[in-house]
Structure 1
Amino acid sequence: MPTVVLDQKGRITIPSEVRSRLGLKPGSRLELVLEGDRIVLRPARRLRARDLLGIAGQEEVELEDVECALGETS
């Protein structure tokens, strides 16, 4: 298991083999979770509209209802 060092500003560097294995790139977001006396970093999951498709089943709506919800009616 790799060891990291905390610098004076509280930063660590994630070893390249770990970044590579997890597909982390500059700008990648990570979640920091405290589990007892442990610090767990994991890639933050970004939720996309596509991920929600079908989660509530199918529902028919009228175009007017959608426009009203979007505030696009006159």
Structure 2
Amino acid sequence: MSDLSIDTTKVSEKGQIVIPKEVRDKLGLKAGSKLIIIATSDLMIMQKAELVGERMRAWEIVNKARLLAEKLGLRKLGL
């Protein structure tokens, strides 16, 4: 799984987060790039908006991320 990136970031007082440069570069994110944010009570997933389209519904993204997180043992990190 060489394309997997795991990093931490903080939420600013304004509710902003910084996406690490490695991740921005990997995804080709530039200023103004649109992201879709999907959240449950303990999980947040961001995906480039243009990648979602018709091929993947929001619940499919959540299920994929949950399975990956559980496989990697990341369900409850307490970061």
TM-score (norm 1): 0.58
Alignment correspondent of 2:74: none
Report the Cα distance in structure 1 between the residues aligned to 2:13 and 2:40, rounded to whole angstroms.
24
Partner of 1:15: 20
Tell me how many residue pairs correspond in the alignment: 47
TM-score, with normalisation over the residues of structure 2? Answer: 0.54
Deviating 4+ runs (over 4 angstroms): none
Counterpart CA distance in 2 for 1:45 and 1:37 is 25
After superposition, the CA RMSD in angstroms is 1.6
| Distance in 2, Cα, partners of 1:45 & 1:35 | 22
For residue 33 of structure 1, what is the aligned residue in structure 2? 38
* Higher-RCO chain (CA-CA 8 Å, sequence separation at least 6): 2
Q: Which has the higher helix share?
A: 2
User: Structure 2 stretches of 5 or more lacking a match?
Assistant: 1-5, 54-79
Cα offset, 1:5, TM superposition: 0.5
Structure 1 residue runs of 5 or longer lacking an equivalent are: 48-74
The SS at the match of 1:33 is: strand
Percent identity among equivalent residues? 38
Matches within 5 A, 1:1-74: 1-45=6-50
